[in-house]
Amino acid sequence: MSSTTDIADIVKIIGGDHVAVTSIARGNQDPHYVEILPSYMLKVRKADIYFMVGMELDLWAQQIIDGSRNRNVLVVDCSVEINKMEVPTAQIDASMGDIHRFGNPHYWLDPENGKLIARIVAQKLISHDSKNADQYQANLNQFVKDLDSAISIWTKRFSNLKDKDIIFYHNSWPYFSKRFGLKTVDFLEPKPMITPSPSKLNQVIQRIKSDGVEVIASESYFSDRAPKFIASKTKVKIVKLAQSVGAIKGADSYINLFETNLTILAKAYGVSYD
């Protein structure tokens, strides 16, 4: 079992035919808020390993694991090896919105971090099922090779995205932006997970007009209403990106998630990417 579809896809790749993996959150679902359904507990009850995102993104997972009454399930936090971004250095509280005290938890949106997740997955699968260790190791090696190759190609093909100003709906994209050189200039949410207010929308409109920001990108689970309102007042283009595997059409695997998102952005900016 895994909390999200991204980790599930990596587990599927590393585990191959030797594992059956299911994700609790759907790809187009907000991973911050997942309802704890009794049926999830039944699924986790049959699991050998549960892969969590960690960093307090999937706090709901622990209740599902507890409720499953599965004595033997191994719970793995996939964030342990991640070089974490935006770790608060001062005291945080609810007045700041939904700030994660261990840093921004959307680390899987950097493909380099996908390799770290894959290594943890392989390590746990090998220790749990040592007789298929060679297969897991081979799958890991192949995945890392494929990802390295893809990152190299993306870096060249989408080099025109570098230093482009972008406004995101929610702060899910620091790892992605850093990897591909996008410059995040603002968010529609005035504070994390706080619905955009009229004054914030007005502020964003003024910024787009003054700075010439071309694109607003949002996660698939957010409403189009606020971005469309801004687009009606400016010339900004609005796009939806896949925050997880399965979130939008085309993002049907971990590697395709990046290919899809980068292609959407390149088209929105009108830059060449072949």
Partner 1 sequence: MLKKLIGGILITTFTFGQTTANPQFSVIGDLVIDHLHKNTSLLSSGIEIAVQGYVNPFARADIYLHKHNDDSPIELEEAVMTIERGLPFGLGIRAGKFRPDIGKINQSHDHLFPYIEAPSGMTKILGEEFWSATGIETNVFLPLPWYSNFSLSYFDSGIGSHNHSDYEKDEDDHEHKDDHKDKDDHNYDDAEKHHGREKQANAFSVRWSHFFELNDVKHLELGLSGYSGQDEGILGADLKYKWRPNKYRSLIIQAEVLQHSLEDVYKEKAVHPDEKLTAGYAMVNFQFNKAYNFGAMVDYWSLELADDEGMNPSIFFGYSPVEESAILRLKIGQLEDEGHHKKHLKTTVQIIWSLGPHKPHRY
Question: Contact positions toward partner 1, by CB under 8 A?
Answer: 26, 28, 30, 33, 35, 37-39, 41-42, 45, 66-71, 94, 98, 193-195, 221, 223
For residue 217, the cross-strand partners are 168, 239
Residue with structure tokens 């007009």?
209
Complex with partner 1: residue 15 or 27, whichever CB lies closer:
27
Q: Shortest gap between Cβ of 124 and partner 1 (angstroms)?
A: 19
Per the DSSP assignment, residues forming a β-bridge with 216 are: 167, 238
Min dist CB 52 to partner 1, Å, is 16
Q: How far apart are CA 237 and CA 245, in angstroms?
A: 23
Q: Which residue lies nearer to partner 1 by CB, 16 or 192?
A: 192
Helix or strand run (H / E) with residue 122: helix 111-128
CB of 188 to partner 1, least distance (A): 13
Nearer to partner 1, 43 or 207 (CB): 43
Q: What minimum distance in Å lies between the beta carbon of 39 and partner 1?
A: 5
Nearer to partner 1, 242 or 265 (CB): 242
H/E stretch holding 133 reads helix 133-157
State the nearest-atom distance from the C-beta of 147 to partner 1, in Å: 29
Pairing of strands 165-168, 183-187: parallel
Contact 29/222 with Cβ under 8 angstroms?
no
CA-nearest of 97, 111, 101 to 149 is: 111
- Closer CB to partner 1, residue 68 or residue 177? 68
Q: How far is the CB of 216 from partner 1 (least distance, A)?
A: 18
Say how far apart CA 183 and CA 165 lie, in whole Å.
Answer: 5
Residue type, 183: K
Judged by beta carbon, residue 41 or residue 205, the one nearer partner 1 is: 41
